[in-house]
Amino acid sequence: MAAAYNDPHRLCEGRVLVYKCGDGDGPFWYARLQVDGRYKTISLKTKSLDIAKERAQREYRKRKIRFDEGLPIDEHSFKHVAELWITEQEQRLARGEVKKHWPRHVRSVLTNGWIAYLKGRTISSIQQKDIDGLAAAGEETQSDHHQQRPDDHVGADEVGPFDKAM
């Protein structure tokens, strides 16, 4: 066992390790979880060993269920997924699949609207009411400040694989 793990407690057939960092003087417990051969370290944000063990086991079970169901073990923020999509659109432009204004438009809408509005929220935490709230705010802003140009229309040929999944 590495010296960095102070006062270690193994749970869930050794797939969960609850410990204190370094010399153990810190107030909080941490957990190292193993799911699908990959490790994730998290702070359990508690000074109580009993509460730390419960939280670690709950987090392990949640991640294990996600893995067993074929879902991503770790969730991504909306910002992370949006940035991936922006990059995909820029690659599509380089291949000549979309009009030159499209990636710039996507970046502007996502960066100035959706990313700012949803901040660090994970994809699974976003609900319809969140989308409706931003859409309503966007309609007010658009009607006051933006007149759509004819070439701003997004055609069916500009919808990528990511769009269809959403």
Render pLDDT for 48-86 as a digit per residue (tens, 0 to 9).
999 999 999 999 999 999 899 988 787 788 888 888 888
**One-letter amino acid for residue 83 of the chain:** E
CB 56 within 8 A of CB 11: yes
* Res. 123 pLDDT band, cuts 50 70 90: confident
Mean pLDDT of all residues in 2-26: 83
Q: Given the DSSP bridges, would you call strands 38-43 and 30-35 parallel, antiparallel or unpaired?
A: antiparallel
Mean pLDDT estimate for the chain? 80
The pLDDT tens digits of the residues spanning 84-102 come to 888 998 999 899 998 988 8
Distance separating alpha carbons of residues 89 and 158, to the nearest angstrom: 9
Q: What is the pTM of this model?
A: 0.52
Instruction: Give all strands (DSSP E) within the chain, no chain letters.
Output: 5-11, 16-21, 30-35, 38-43
Kindly report which listed range (29-43, 53-67, 112-126) carries the lowest average pLDDT score: 112-126
The pLDDT tens digits of the residues spanning 148-160 come to 444 444 444 554 4
> b/e string for 51-85 if b means 16 or more Cβ within 10 A?
ebbebbbebbeebbebeeeeeeeeeebbbebbbeb
